[in-house]
Amino acid sequence: MALGLLLAVVPLACWALITRTVTTGWVVAAVLAACGGSALGLAAGWFGSGEKDTSLAALALAMPLVLVAGGAAERRAGARRLRSGGVRGIAGLVVSVAYVGVSFIVAPLMVLAMLYEGAAYVPSGTEVLPLPAGLAVASDQDRGCSSGSATFCTRQFLITSTAALPAGEIAQRLRDQLTRVHGWRLSLDMGDWGGCRTEGWLLDRQQVCIDMYVSQRQVTVLLQGDNDD
């Protein structure tokens, strides 16, 4: 959330201090506001993205470039100036140069650190949903992430039948759906079905594993994402 706020506020504040022309000023401000709003929404979880970290890193690198391009465009359109530079212009120049310089140093370092550590986030429910006809989700729990040398993030589903099917039949229907619709490759291991695959790209690349456990009249599905791939 803090990163989203910084990306949303700081570039706009810099641009407000250095802009001098009408058309270019509003165009660049609109672009920065759109990028900042996207960053804030991603960081706060207001809308989902399977490549959250990659998108935030791209925005963190793109916004200083927009600021630099906007400043260059204003120098070429210097005829329609609204106000002279003065103290505000000098302050804006200093703050903007500092922001651009820090962004081009910190953002690449953050990207390298994230690539080294790997991604780990709670897998999406779309890994399992929608269910085949006759099955229903009794529980969908986001169990969060563990901490340590390797991070594991877990989501748990309890799947039941709307037609009083036995647990074995529930598991069979669910297994067929996971294989045919969701593309999972499941294998039997000590009575339980499971499989793993690598998902996402760049900074959001992680290993996702699925396991199915049959008990009484329901099936437990455990989704686990980890950065140890």
Each residue's pLDDT tens digit, 24-70? 889 999 999 999 888 888 777 676 656 777 888 888 889 999 999 98
Identify the CA nearest to 171 among candidates 185, 154, 158, 155.
Answer: 158
Provide the pLDDT for residue 4.
64
Query: Residues 13, 87: one domain?
Result: yes
Q: Please identify, among 117, 142, 163, the residue that sits at the C-terminal boundary of a domain.
A: 117
Q: Examine the pLDDT at 177 and tell me if it is beyond 80.
A: yes
Identify the CA nearest to 140 among candidates 122, 162, 155.
Answer: 155
Characterize the bridge pairing of strands 135-145 and 218-226: unpaired
Query: Residues 157, 200: one domain?
Result: yes
Query: Residues 196, 111: one domain?
Result: no
Query: Residues 58, 78: one domain?
Result: yes
Query: Residues 219, 150: one domain?
Result: yes
Copy the structure tokens of residue 215: 């008990």
Q: Please identify, among 88, 117, 146, the residue that sits at the C-terminal boundary of a domain.
A: 117
Query: Residues 133, 79: one domain?
Result: no
Q: Give the residue numbers spanning the domain of 40.
A: 2-117
Q: How far apart are CA 27 and CA 84, in angstroms?
A: 20
Give the residue, 5 or 109, on which the prediction is more confident.
109
The whole-angstrom distance between residue 139's C-alpha and the CA centroid of its chain comes to 24
Per residue in 199-219, pLDDT (tens digit) is 877 777 788 999 999 887 889
Copy the structure tokens of residue 207: 């290993």
User: Is omega for the bond preceding 11 within 30 degrees of 0, making it cis?
Assistant: no
Q: How far apart are CA 84 and CA 81, in angstroms?
A: 7
- ∠ CA 117-228-2, rounded to 5°: 40
Provide the pLDDT for residue 50.
61
Query: Residues 27, 104: one domain?
Result: yes
Count of domains observed in the chain: 2
Provide the pLDDT for residue 118.
61
Q: How far apart are CA 56 and CA 49, in angstroms?
A: 10
Query: Residues 13, 68: one domain?
Result: yes
Query: Residues 62, 98: one domain?
Result: yes
Q: Which residues contact 47 (CB under 8 A, 6 or more apart)?
A: 41
Q: Please identify, among 87, 117, 147, the residue that sits at the C-terminal boundary of a domain.
A: 117
CA dihedral sign, ordered 128, 217, 152, 228: negative
Query: Residues 74, 181: one domain?
Result: no
Q: Examine the pLDDT at 79 and tell me if it is beyond 50.
A: no
Identify the CA nearest to 54 among candidates 67, 30, 38.
Answer: 38
- Highest mean pLDDT: which of 48-52, 105-109, 225-229? 105-109
Q: How far apart are CA 183 and CA 31, in angstroms?
A: 38
Query: Residues 98, 130: one domain?
Result: no
Summary mean pLDDT of the chain: 82
